[in-house]
Amino acid sequence: MRVFVTGATGFIGSVIVQELIKAGHRVLGMTRSDSGARALTAAGAEVHRGTLEDLESIRSGAAQADGVIHTAFDHDFSRFAENCEKDRRVIEALGGVLKGSDRPLVITSGTGVGMAMIGQLATEDVFNTSHPNPRIASEIAGAAMLAEGVNVSVVRLPQVHDTRKQGFVTLLIETARAKRVSGYIGDGLNRWPAAHVLDVARLYRLALERRQSGARYHAVAEEGLPARTIAEAIGRGLHLPTVSVAPGDAAGHFGWFASFVALDMPASSAKTQQALDWHPTGPGLIEDLDHMNYAAA
């Protein structure tokens, strides 16, 4: 297949590009920069210039492809709801091009939208259009495209990691570095799911190749790591004390990120593993944090 990949030079997207090429697919990777174009060319991909704001560039890329993997997202989480709406518009643009064909469109969401109730294990079969997580906008857009005959599937992401980056955990590292302590909120028993980026890239490829319209997949290797365990690993890496931050002091310590830090969001991938014969083998989050070069980060 010739696959159009948005976010092709990002943390996850760049690994997906490598995974697709290794499996024999051709990749048309979207980038906005000269440096991104050079990286894509070096990886063996074709270059497509475009941005999330330029929907015509999005449509043009999709029109040239046999399938699409959409991973690009504006990661300014201080404007999370607004950026989720931007993602909805991008998905609608992609779907409009693919409508009337069997060309697969794999979109991205978060495992948090798979929780029926806060703190309950997120599962693939949960799809609640009234979910309070703004990222549900992406899945609502996908469902609308599905209803119009587009072959859409969804990959829901946990904290995706290697020894360079770790999703929201990277923000915890930045906060610990600034505050000189590695913090967690309250008892630190709230849980975050995780998966290594190589396992996640393989799941995207499998989802694309399976072409299972309407499927939802969880890219989860570890169902839920306690926030305190994550903070302790960060403390070891930075040689800083690990401390509990009182809930009332969380906003002052973590800033706008405090509400994310407090989330309890365990997630299962049992159905995904069975459906795609996908079995994650990469290092765990704590292992990657323990092997991270904090001086270079």
Place of tokens 């000189």: 180
How many Cβ atoms are within 10 Å of 270's Cβ, its own excluded?
13
Say if CB 236 and CB 297 are below 8 A apart.
Answer: no
- Distance, in Å, from the CA atom of 161 to the CA atom of 149, rounded to the nearest integer, reads 34
Domains of the chain: residue spans and CATH: 2-160+194-220 (3.40.50.720), 163-193+223-290 (3.90.25.10)
Q: If we measure between CA atoms, which residue out of 13, 64, 19 comes closest to residue 36?
A: 13
Kindly report the backbone phi and psi dihedral angles of residue 107, in degrees, each rounded to the nearest multiple of 5, phi listed first: -105, 175
Quote the radius of gyration of the chain (alpha carbons, Å).
19
- Both structure tokens of 35: 């440096």
Kindly report the backbone phi and psi dihedral angles of residue 194, in degrees, each rounded to the nearest multiple of 5, phi listed first: -155, 160
**3-state DSSP call for residue 193?**
strand
The whole-number pLDDT of residue 204 equals 98
Q: Are strands 191-196 and 222-226 parallel, antiparallel or unpaired?
A: antiparallel
- Beta carbons within 8 Å of 193's beta carbon, 6+ residues apart: 111, 122, 158, 159, 218, 220, 222, 223, 224, 225, 265, 266, 267
- Beta carbons within 8 Å of 41's beta carbon, 6+ residues apart: 47
The whole-number pLDDT of residue 75 equals 83
Q: If we measure between CA atoms, which residue out of 5, 268, 284, 261 comes closest to residue 121?
A: 268
The whole-number pLDDT of residue 117 equals 86
Per DSSP, 284 falls in state P
- Distance, in Å, from the CA atom of 221 to the CA atom of 266, rounded to the nearest integer, reads 11
10-residue mean pLDDT profile of the chain (297 residues): values are 97 98 98 97 98 97 98 87 95 96 96 90 94 93 97 98 95 97 98 98 98 98 98 98 98 93 96 98 98 87
- Both structure tokens of 5: 């990949």
How many residues are present in the chain? 297
Q: Which helix (H) or strand (E) holds 185?
A: strand 182-185
The whole-number pLDDT of residue 77 equals 76
The whole-number pLDDT of residue 67 equals 98
The whole-number pLDDT of residue 179 equals 97
Whole-model pTM?
Answer: 0.96
The whole-number pLDDT of residue 297 equals 72
Span 151-180, pLDDT tens digits: 999 999 999 999 999 999 999 999 999 999
